Chain A
Amino acid sequence: MTPEPEPELREALLAAVPSLRAFAISLSGQVDRADDLVQDTLLRALANLHRFEPGTNLNAWLFTILRNLFHSEYRKRRREVEDPDGSYAGRLKVQPEQGSHLDFEDFRSALAQLPADQREALLLVGASGFSYEEAAHICGCAVGTIKSRVNRARFRLASLLNVDDIEDLGPDSMTRAALQG
């Protein structure tokens, strides 16, 4: 007799794969590496299922695993990938004539130039749909730290991508921005 697998769990894990992949690809900038990360995440999740508290957010748990795997792997090959203090990004000249048209390649390359902690905070909050609190839990840091990283990430992306709102110049836009917080 073949033991019955847990179809619900299998479906839930499978359903999480697209968002895990999107996160991993955006985080690592490489599809192959991202798929390896997702695979390792699933393996680790299955091996540690007893630690998952039913009723809590499965996606957040999986993202936490993936994020931790990414960082432990990243620490091993730090030099080839990144720019921890963003000095490269800071040196990069903003290209002219790009203010109005942005495509994904520009965006991905700008994203890749962010320090990893800022990139992941922005991806979790701005794209993956987690709250600041959930993102803080996933990253193991304070909510205020996440907010700060997201702000810095947006700011740096805007600089790299030459995003500008010329028509918005003036005190009104500053007031609006302050109100929106």
Chain B
Amino acid sequence: MDGTGRSNQRYCSKTNIWILPRLAIPFEGRDGKGTQMTVEKGSKLARVVLDSHGDKHATDPKLDSGSQKRIGDQLRAMYDELMQQPVPDRFKELLDQLDKKNGGKEGSQ
């Protein structure tokens, strides 16, 4: 019985038990990069909730909803500020020039 299907396990003779290779869950993405993320106990890092959807990425770290919302709000606020910046003249000029140049060859059908 022993020895079959246990290639990843080690036997500890002191305690007479089989030791599983790792207890930490590695977060492996489909790009094959096995990023091992751990959350330090007692630190103020955001908490991880394991995705319970049972899909291929079930072991990806997942933020609690509150943290996720704050990240999202912050991201959109930063982005909106960028979106509201005036378009630099160089782009208008560029498109004007190209319109003139391209107009003859590739004009509307």
Contacts and interface: CB of A to CB of B under 8 A. Distances in A.
Q: What's the interface size class on A, roughly? A: 35 or more
B57 interface: yes
Interface string B67-106: 1101110111111011111011011101110111011101
Given A151-B60, A177-B62, A4 B45 contact: no
Contacts, number: 184
A26 B90 CA distance: 20
A126 B62 contact: no
Residue from the set A3, A99, A144, A147 with the largest chain B CB neighbour count within 10 Å: A3
Interface size class of B (residues with CB under 8 A): 35 or more
B95 A42 contact: yes
Contacts of A108: 78
Interface in A155-178: 155, 157-159, 161-165, 168-169, 173-174, 176-178
Interface of A: 2-6, 10, 13-14, 17-19, 21-22, 25-26, 35, 38-39, 42-43, 46, 49-50, 85-86, 94, 96, 99, 102, 104, 107-108, 111, 117, 122-123, 126-128, 141-142, 144-145, 147-149, 151-152, 154-155, 157-159, 161-165, 168-169, 173-174, 176-178, 180-181
